[in-house]
Chain A
Amino acid sequence: MQSNTAAFLMLTFWLAMAPALSAQTGEVNSCVSCHLEEGEELAVPVEGMRNDVHAQNGLSCADCHGGDPKAGLDGDMDAAMDPDKGYIGVPSRKDIPTFCARCHSNTAYMRKFNPRVASNQLERYKTSIHGKRLINGDEKVATCVDCHGVHGIRASNDALSLIYPTNVPSTCGRCHADAEYMADYDIPINQLTSYTKSVHGVALLDRGDLGAPACNDCHGNHGAAPPGAPSIAFICGQCHLNNSELFFKSPHRVAYEENDFPECETCHDYHDIQHPSDEMLGVGENSICIECHEEDSKGYATAIAMRNQIEFLKSKMSTADSLVALAERAGMEVSDALYQLNDADDALVKARTQIHSLDLDNIVNVTNEGVTLADAALLAGTNALSEVQFRRKGLAVSLVFLLILAVGLYLKIKEIDIKHPLR
């Protein structure tokens, strides 16, 4: 009953809105009036167009579907949907990409709306796994409308758009996380679950950090494809530039190519990439290095040496940090030491980045910079604490002096009180 009432109210609303919708294009639109009159399923496209970027840019039904919206107002639907007047109607799934591309691949036309908009989506789509399979007759793959929606397509920078960064994982997951839908394909369906728990997923979905990558940032969007092993470092390198560059110069690159290891993914995994920790380095329990490097090998020794460098810097920083904090709590002005510790922390980050080069000399150079800074902060902290001791002693001496003075004065007052008594 409630849903009937709601449907009635919606219909009334849209009937009232119909002239306004038509007015957007400044034309009489029989598509809108008839579809609303028919209601239910046929009214859905009209309702959806309310927030559609196309409608907001002045396009109407006929701009995509053809036909004559001026005709048919007298109830003659055939006149409005006359194929001779260019009426296309609903495109089949395999025709959707070319249907949209009539405008979106037309650079001159698209420039009217946005001079920076891309017009190569169809071209790229055809290179994607989705596009290739569609051409080969697989109509289950994603077409434009599966990712962008239909009759209600929002601009990509609209937070409610299906392709807004924070919505991309769930949009892709509508198919890729659906076991039943993906049953025909020999690919895993846990990407969304893994991604959601990953460092990237947490940053994007939990913290709303739009700088964190969604599916399309690694796989591409219209040209979506799984990256092949040799190109992973380029993909990660879009953001992790230094790590990527150092990796390319490292001995790992050649070794990985020879063994067909998937570059970054070999150590960091892919959809469920976790925040890297120093435990990944070295030969400890959670070390990644020992998965390949056997004991007594050069790589094993380098792993130990690299980890030692990092730990050495960390221990220096930790000692300096606690000492400086102690001095700060004692009320000492230690901002210079805090800046030095900050810079030492930067050196630690740089050293962790240098790990990707596997060049121990480079790593030692960077950690040494940090150690020098941590030592300077440690010295400043030690000096500050000695100064605290000096101040305490100085205070004690001053107070003893004042006490003697006060006692002496008190005795003098007593003597004077006798000499000059109260009157």
Chain B
Amino acid sequence: MAEVTQEPQRAQAGVNEAGESKLKLWLKDRYDFSALGYLIKKKEVPQHRHSIWYYLGGITLFFFIIQVVTGIMLLLYYRPTAEAAFESVQFIMTEVKFGWLIRSLHSWSANLMIGAAFVHMFSVFFMKAYRRPRELTWVSGVLLLFLSLGFGFSGYLLPWNELAYFATKVGTEIVAVVPFVGDFFLKFLRGGEDVTGATLTRLFGFHVAVLPMICTILLMAHLLFVQKQGMSVPPQFERNDTKLKAMPFFPNFLLRDLLGWIVALAVLIAAAAIFPWELGVKADPFAPAPSGIKPEWFFVFMFQTLKYIPAKVLFIDGELLGILAFGVGGGLLVAVPFLDKNARLGKSSKLFTIAGIVVLIYMIAMTLVAYLLPQTF
């Protein structure tokens, strides 16, 4: 009797025999997402003592989403010219309802995103998660980190304040030492010989159009790789041959991810409300450079290194040598999965672990030296 009455009830609720809603069926007709659903259902996250690092990518993504949302909101009022940029940011901070919060969130989230991206990259590096078949996940991730630095550099100048103006001047000057193409790149970045309104408009274009476009493509690829290949198990657990426990991705891991995002949001809004991002004074190209000019913290280790390199090393210009070294370093970082043959074969690759530790300590030490010892940039 009960079975007889089920049909009309289902029909009334728009549900078929398999329990699928009309909307689902309508969608299924146009694109079959069942493969994706299957993937999500089957996906598992390995559990071990380093599982905590699996959340860093998600947190970086969360800050990126905040960047996109707050960035679009800032775009409603920001004006990218030397005459109006500073005033428009000032307007956002003083006149626009909750404008101060949006701008402060954007600045804080930018820094937290880069911080999270660095931690994510190093955790992936030390867990050797770049080994086969995840080489392209690593490559796209490192490129995304470089893009984030590009976002940071181009966004720093946009408020057109004194510190940013002179830091951009110094930052772009460094490009000029690269042989043959340096001068071209300097003019390309600055839109002329000097840092002017043309530079501001140009960097604005990179910040809101060029970099987001490349970033979207790379991020899609990165996320697709991660979803397709799942989380990597660190080699030491793989070699032990012990069956690791696994957590269902949906909903267990995803909800944990969400919890992490809530914590990240709390940290972000607390930072933005208690320490609103300063605006400083408007840039004056004719004024002498003030003391305390420094790049953003994530570039500081490179600037500090350039300061310590002698003017001439043998016959090569010291600054050029530094730039080339960082260029080569960046290239090696991208190529890590192809260089680390032992990890590829599932063997221990202590050399890369040691190299990673040395690089990490170097970066932290140089940054601390720059901030803790009194000096000028």
Write the residues of chain A forming the contact surface with B, with a CB cutoff of 8 angstroms. 331-333, 335-336, 391-392, 394-395, 398-399, 402-403, 405-406, 409-410, 412-413, 416-417, 420, 422-423
Contacts and interface: CB of A to CB of B under 8 A. Distances in A.
Given A399-B266, A420-B251, A423-B44, A413 B273 contact: no
20 contacts: A331-B274, A333-B90, A333-B94, A335-B90, A335-B279, A392-B273, A392-B274, A394-B273, A398-B266, A402-B269, A406-B259, A409-B255, A410-B259, A413-B252, A413-B259, A416-B251, A416-B252, A420-B252, A422-B245, A423-B44
Nearest to B250: A420
A422 B90 contact: no
B88 to A, nearest CB: 13
B63 to A, nearest CB: 16
A395 B252 contact: no
B193 interface: no
B164 to A, nearest CB: 16
Interface string B21-50: 000000000000000000000001001000
Interface string B50-71: 0000000000000000000000
Contacts, number: 64
Given A331-B276, A333-B100, A423-B248, A402 B266 contact: yes
A335 B182 CA distance: 39
A402 B252 contact: no
A274 B101 CA distance: 50
Interface string B226-247: 0000000000000000000111
A331 B100 CA distance: 10
B166 to A, nearest CB: 19
Q: Is the interface of A mostly helix, strand, loop or mixed?
A: helix
B94 A406 contact: no
A405 B258 CA distance: 10
Given A395-B269, A395-B274, A402-B269, 16 more contacts: A335-B279, A395-B273, A398-B266, A402-B266, A403-B266, A406-B266, A409-B255, A410-B259, A413-B256, A413-B259, A416-B251, A417-B252, A420-B248, A420-B252, A422-B47, A422-B246
Q: Which 6 A-B pairs have the closest CB atoms?
A: A331-B276, A395-B273, A422-B245, A333-B93, A402-B266, A406-B262
A331 to B, nearest CB: 4
B273 A402 contact: no
Contacts of B252: 413, 416-417, 420
Contacts of A420: 248, 251-252
Contacts of B259: 406, 409-410, 413
A406 B263 contact: yes
Given A406-B262, A409-B255, A413-B255, A422 B247 contact: yes
A406 B44 CA distance: 23
Contact of A402 (B247, B262, B275): B262
Contact of B276 (A332, A394, A416): A332
B336 interface: no
